[in-house]
């Protein structure tokens, strides 16, 4: 708990209106999309890097945890204040500061909603490709903290690939600038990319310089339905091996199809066992040619039906179905563990078979969908309240299979709380030690977002040494 | 100097044939493209990560510096053993281990020459875009250490954008694997991107997983000559603002044109004051359209002559001229300081004017050429033997102007020895401190490549604590 003198100082920094301590307000900042919950001791809403810096200096002096928070849409518990402390909420730092059309970049504050930036730049014929499913709610600060991925990573990469530079308050309160307003810059270590994806444990981002691209001239979309998951996975591999890089290449399995069809009261697939959703972008003559080639290719691989989404309305309809999968799954079972494994794309058919075997062995319903183009599959272990231990065992087996195939236990959700126990499986002790030594170097008192990523992180803060 | 017992242990690790201590051998490993020189105490040529690990453990025990080295083509002194010690040369670890066509990736050892990998993957219809001018000699390990850029960064990014994962021996000898064989992976801090560009100070790379792309179907090249540098810079900005991203967009100023024309005994430019060299790639109908638009645009911006390079022979001829600039400059003056500043591309005309003013004020010949598309300009301060102090003052003024315009003092060469004195101008003390705390965390005894990046780094190694 915070001493009254500390609360007084926090109030002096952000103003009384921007400090919350009442239980009904605190509860709003206690959870994320994992449904994990932990009440903070206070919430502050800073408006400038200087305020953030003063709060962190105070935290180092008085030894309380500080937890940065965007919109709370994270999928691994990154913003859940599991050790209590003070939540730094960025709802007041939500301005698009600049859209530089000549240099194809934008400068934003961390509280800007991703979809708002996308809309603004698209109106100017520009494009910010990273596209997490929560883009209508999530913030760019949160995207940076977790290195959010999304649907378009297969062609365009992830958040990290668009962050040119940052303004960051280090855990000890110093304000630094990293990177530059240029694509090239090699002045010292790449602190930009170290901060991106560090889940709010190495620094608090207060400004972001993002690279933009010209908006593609046209988009073509197609859905293909298959009599087996294996054929769909094979078709996905063949599209990529055919040297076409679609901007989205999504896989949806039987369980997810049935769930979303029942959720939307609509027969989308005609009883198919799996669906691919493919989208290409670029100049119109090129996309017409590519989507034609893809159509031919999926048909040769055994697609029972192929549907082109020719109008914007058709596109919206099919993407709505894709976006509805996650909520629709709750109709199947009351609980789900939502993993986001990633394997080299040629191993997708293999990992799906292994997951099928694991599901059978543990008598669990496991539903798979996601980004076949980049190998990032959302594996949902559906279970009843009493089956958590069994589900966790299955998860561990799935992760072991993923690592055997040269993949990673998290493609885009981050480690946070929910995957910390499994991280040593992927990294090994020496790499974990290296990461933790960096954490200690930048945050000697363990102030910033404690309890995340590393299982052995102490809850609470260290005493001054 | 090394004790005889240490030499004996090194010999036991790599074998007598792979340890050099004779002065005539050591001199070969003493310099890079900066012409800075410093003799190592010994050179070893390891053949496995295990050997590298044993050497580093020995170094930590016996306290001698270890300096990793590729082909010695670096432009900032990164591989010069300025504190002596043992050079780790990767000439025996030079295998392309795998080209995975399905997953569009390659796995290589650090000693592979960049151009060799490019040739191998292109023969399979694949593409490794990073293209440093030294690609025929430089190694991928060196490219990773310095985060090499090159001609195609405007469209395709730099080395960092292609490194999916690494095998690294940490300064203390532990072997770790970072990243994955996938584009997405967020398992803990991004050690991959921290190691890339760390100039051999944070780890020794022993294996590299590189992302590949499909080889573009066609390439179109054009050179345009202008009556003023200002018009050429403006045309470069307009091409990018016209939402065309060429794969190369090179600028060459008057001094560089005259030097290369006299070097090749050929009138390339018809007396022009500046040249742009533009190359687009992609499907043939698209590149034809784009190169047509670019031709129109440069003519509107005042180009006095535009030449299409329609055949492979024409392309070779014009690129040969571009590649000859650097050696040709030595005919102008006996000494050059070769800087590689980068500014937001819309500021190129401005920085060229500022550099012109600085050249006049200091009565120095300054020649500019380079990557206008990404704002990365090679600024060569030509001078006589006695003018080094004056040239250094001019460099400092150029860097100050670059930073005022939102750029960086090094786009692709790295800091190494030659820019360490200027790094604080760009970063400020807090960011420098953060970087050095990371260095100390991973290399507590300061074994690995001491004396680089940070001006106050001690030459030699710390005593055990």
How far apart CA A80 and CA A72 sit, in angstroms, is 8
Q: B242 with B309: CB under 8 angstroms?
A: no
Q: Report whether pLDDT(B138) > 50.
A: yes
Residue B458, pLDDT above cutoff 70? no
Each residue's pLDDT tens digit, A292-305: 999 999 999 999 99
**Does A182 touch chain B if contact means CB atoms closer than 8 Å?**
yes
CB pairs under 8 A between A and B: 268
Q: What percent of chain A has pLDDT over 70?
A: 98
The DSSP H or E segment spanning A189 is: none
Mean pLDDT of A104-119: 98
Q: Is the pLDDT of residue B438 over 60?
A: yes
Cα–Cα distance, B12 to B9 (Å, whole number): 5
Contacting residues of B for A428, CB less than 8 Å apart: 176-177
Which of chain A's residues have a Cβ under 8 Å away from the Cβ of B431? Answer: 176-178, 188, 191
Put simply, whether B428 touches A (Cβ < 8 Å) is: yes
Question: What pLDDT score was predicted for residue B456?
Answer: 66
- State the average pLDDT over residues B19-32: 96
Query: 10 Å Cβ neighbour count for B6?
Result: 19
* Chain B nearest CA to A307, separation (Å): 26
What is the 3 state secondary structure string of chain B?
Answer: CCCHHHHHHHHHHHCHHHEECCHHHHHHHCECCCCCECCCCEEECCCCHHHHHHHHHHHHHHCCCEEEECCCCCCCCCCCCCCCCEEEECCCCCCEEEEECCCCEEEECCCCEHHHHHHHHHCCCEECCCECCCCCCCEHHHHHHHCCCECCHHHHCCHHHHEEEEEEECCCCCEEEEECCCCCCCCCCCHHHHHCCCCCCCCEEEEEEEECEECCCEEEEEEEEECCHHHHHHHHHHHHHCCCCCCEEEEEEHHHHHHHHHHHCCCCCCCCCEEEEEEEEECHHHHHHHHHHHHHHHHHCCCCEEEEECCHHHHHHHHHHHHCHHHHHCCCCCEEEEEEEECCHHHHHHHHHHHHHHHHHHCCEEEEEEECCCCEEEEEEEECHHHHHHHHHHHHHHHHHHHHCCCECECCCCCCCCCCCCHHHHHCHHHHHHHHHHHHHHCCCCCECCCCCCCCCCCCCCCCC
Distance CA(A325)–CA(A19), nearest Å, equals 37
Look up residue A28 and give its DSSP letter. Answer: G
The stretch B401-412 carries a mean pLDDT of 96
CA dist., res. A122 & res. A120, Å (int): 6
pLDDT of residue B243: 87
Structure tokens at B100: 């995975």
More confident residue, A460 or B398: B398
| Joined tokens for residue B315 | 């392309």
Q: Tokens standing for B178?
A: 């970072």
Which has the closest alpha carbon to B132: B115, B117, B110, B120? B115
Give the other-Cβ count within 10 Å of B52's Cβ. Answer: 28
Residue B202 touches chain A, beta carbons under 8 Å: yes
CB-based contacts of A187, cutoff 8 Å, min separation 6? A180, B408, B409, B410, B415, B419, B423, B426, B427
> Which tokens is B216 given?
């573009």
Helices (H), A16-150: 23-26, 49-62, 114-122, 140-146
With a pLDDT cut of 90, the percent of chain A lying above it is 89
The mean-pLDDT minimum among A101-115, B398-412, B446-460 falls in B446-460
Q: Report yes or no: B342 and A184 within 8 Å, Cβ to Cβ.
A: yes
Q: Collect all residues of chain A within an 8 Å Cβ-Cβ radius of residue B286.
A: 282-283, 285-286
Q: Dump pLDDT digits (tens) for A257-301.
A: 999 999 999 999 999 999 999 999 999 999 999 999 999 999 999
Q: Which residues 331-350 of A are in CB contact (within 8 Å) with B? A: 342-346
Return the pLDDT at A462: 47
pLDDT tier for residue A456 given thresholds of 50, 70 and 90: low
Please indicate if any CB of chain A lies within 8 Å of the CB of B159.
no
d(CA A19, CA B234): 50
Residues of B in contact with A158 (CB under 8 A): 183-184
* The model's pTM: 0.96
Q: How far is CA B301 from CA B146, B292, B352, in A?
A: 36, 14, 17
For residue range A63-74, list pLDDT tens digits in order. 999 999 999 999
Query: H helices of A324-457, where?
Result: 325-328, 348-362, 388-404, 423-427, 429-442
Q: Do A410 and B453 touch (CB under 8 A)?
A: no
How many C-beta atoms surround the C-beta of residue A363 within 10 A?
9
Chain B environment of A147 (Cβ under 8 Å): 186, 190
User: Which stretch of DSSP H or E encloses residue A13?
Assistant: helix A4-14
pLDDT tens-digit series, residues B233-272 = 999 989 988 889 999 999 999 999 999 999 999 999 999 9
Report pLDDT digits (tens) over B366-392: 999 999 999 999 999 999 989 999 999
Question: Tell me, what's the pLDDT at A60?
Answer: 98
Tell me which chain B residues have a C-beta less than 8 angstroms from the C-beta of A191.
431, 434-435
The ipTM assigned to this model is 0.95
Q: What is the pLDDT of residue A230?
A: 92
The Cα–Cα gap between B196 and B160 comes to 6
Q: Please report residues of A whose CB lies closer than 8 A to that of B196.
A: 190
Which element (helix H / strand E) includes A249? strand A248-253
- Which of chain A's residues have a Cβ under 8 Å away from the Cβ of B217? none
pLDDT of residue A243: 87
Among B185, B186, B413, beta carbon nearest to A146 = B186
Chain B contacts of A196, Cβ < 8 Å?
190
Q: Of the candidates B178, B285, B411, which has its C-beta nearest A185's C-beta?
A: B411
Residues A366-412 pLDDT 10s: 999 999 999 999 999 999 989 999 999 999 999 999 999 999 999 99
Q: What local confidence, expressed as pLDDT, does residue A265 receive?
A: 93
CA gap B354, B80 in Å, rounded? 32
Report the 10 Å Cβ neighbour count for B464. 9
| CA B20/CA B231 separation, integer angstroms | 54
Contact at CB, A194 and B197, closer than 8 angstroms = no
CA dist., res. A122 & res. A128, Å (int): 8
Model confidence over A412-446: pLDDT tens digits?
Answer: 999 999 999 999 999 999 999 999 999 999 999 99
Q: Could you give the percent of chain B with pLDDT greater than 70?
A: 98
| Interface membership of B430 toward A (CB under 8 Å) | yes
More confident residue, B13 or A1: B13
| Half-sphere exposure for B244 (CA within 13 Å, toward CB) | 28
Residue A78 phi/psi, 5-degree rounding, is: -55, -35
Asked if the C-beta of B120 comes within 8 angstroms of chain A's C-beta atoms, the answer is no
Separation in Å, CA B4 to CA B9, B11, B62, B63, B67: 9, 10, 12, 14, 20
Residue A460 has pLDDT above 80, yes or no: no
Averaged pLDDT for residues B450-459: 82
Asked if the C-beta of B97 comes within 8 angstroms of chain A's C-beta atoms, the answer is no
**What's the pLDDT at B460?**
47
Mean pLDDT over the full length of chain A: 94
Instruction: Determine the pLDDT at residue B55.
Output: 98
Contact B83, B42 (CB under 8 A): no
Q: What angle do CA A122, A125, A129 make, to 5 degrees?
A: 50
**Residue B465 reports pLDDT greater than 70:** no
Average pLDDT over residues A192-197: 98
**Mutation site, A122, A149, A157, A186, interface B, largest B CB count within 10 A:** A186
pLDDT of the residue at B463? 40
**Is some CB atom of chain A closer than 8 A to the CB atom of B28?**
no
Residue A463 is given by DSSP the state: P
Asked if pLDDT for residue A121 goes beyond 90, the answer is: yes
pLDDT of residue A455: 84
pLDDT at A463 over 60: no
Q: What is the mean pLDDT of residues B402-411?
A: 96
DSSP class of residue A113 equals B
Interface of A with B in 209-248 (CB under 8 A): 213-214, 237, 240-241, 243-245
Q: Which of A183, A236, A348 to mutate to test the interface with B (most CBs of B within 10 A)?
A: A183
What the block records as the tokens of B389 is: 């102090």
Report the percentage of chain B scoring pLDDT > 90: 89
pLDDT of residue B51: 98
Largest CA distance in chain B: 71
């Amino acid at each position: 708990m915070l001493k009254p003198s500390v609360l007084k100082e926090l109030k002096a920094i952000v103003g009384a209106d921007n400090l919350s301590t009442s239980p009904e307000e605190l509860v709003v900042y206690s959870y994320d999309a994992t449904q994990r919950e932990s009440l903070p001791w206070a919430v502050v809403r800073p408006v400038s890097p200087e305020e953030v810096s003063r709060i962190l200096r105070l935290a180092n002096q008085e030894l309380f945890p500080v937890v940065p928070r965007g919109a709370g849409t994270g999928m691994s518990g990154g913003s859940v204040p599991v050790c209590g402390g003070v939540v730094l909420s960025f709802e007041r730092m939500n301005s698009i500061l600049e859209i530089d059309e000549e240099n194809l970049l934008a400068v934003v504050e961390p509280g800007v909603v991703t979809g708002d930036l996308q809309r603004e730049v698209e109106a100017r014929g520009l494009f910010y490709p990273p596209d997490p499913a929560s883009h209508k709610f999530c913030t760019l600060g949160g995207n940076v903290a977790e290195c959010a991925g999304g649907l378009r990573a297969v062609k365009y990469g992830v958040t990290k690939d668009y962050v040119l530079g940052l303004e960051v308050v280090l855990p000890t309160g110093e304000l630094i600038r990293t990177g530059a307003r240029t694509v090239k810059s090699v002045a010292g270590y790449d602190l930009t990319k170290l901060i991106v994806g560090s889940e709010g444990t190495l620094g608090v981002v207060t400004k972001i310089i993002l690279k933009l691209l010209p908006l593609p001239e046209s988009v073509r979309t197609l859905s293909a339905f298959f009599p087996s998951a294996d054929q769909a996975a094979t078709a996905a591999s063949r599209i990529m091996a055919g040297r076409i890089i679609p901007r989205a290449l999504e896989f949806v399995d039987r369980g997810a199809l049935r769930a979303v069809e029942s959720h939307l009261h609509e027969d989308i697939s005609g009883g198919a066992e799996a669906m691919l959703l493919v989208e290409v972008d670029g100049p119109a003559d090129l996309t017409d040619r590519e989507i034609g080639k893809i159509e031919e290719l999926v048909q040769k691989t055994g697609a029972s039906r192929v549907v082109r989404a020719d109008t914007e309305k058709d596109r919206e309809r099919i993407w709505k179905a894709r976006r509805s999968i996650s909520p629709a799954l709750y109709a199947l079972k009351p609980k789900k563990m939502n993993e986001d494994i990633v394997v080299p794309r040629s191993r997708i058919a293999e990992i799906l078979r292994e997951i099928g075997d694991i599901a059978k062995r543990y008598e669990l319903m496991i539903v798979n969908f996601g980004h076949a183009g980049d190998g990032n599959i959302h594996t949902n272990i559906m279970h009843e309240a009493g089956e958590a231990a069994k589900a966790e065992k299955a998860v561990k087996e799935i992760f072991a299979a993923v690592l055997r195939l040269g993949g990673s236990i998290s493609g885009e959700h981050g480690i946070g709380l929910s995957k910390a126990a499994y991280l040593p499986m992927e990294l090994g002790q020496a790499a974990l030690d290296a990461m933790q030594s960096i954490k200690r170097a930048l945050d000697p008192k363990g102030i910033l977002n404690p309890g995340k990523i590393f299982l052995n992180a102490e809850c609470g803060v260290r005493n001054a040494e």
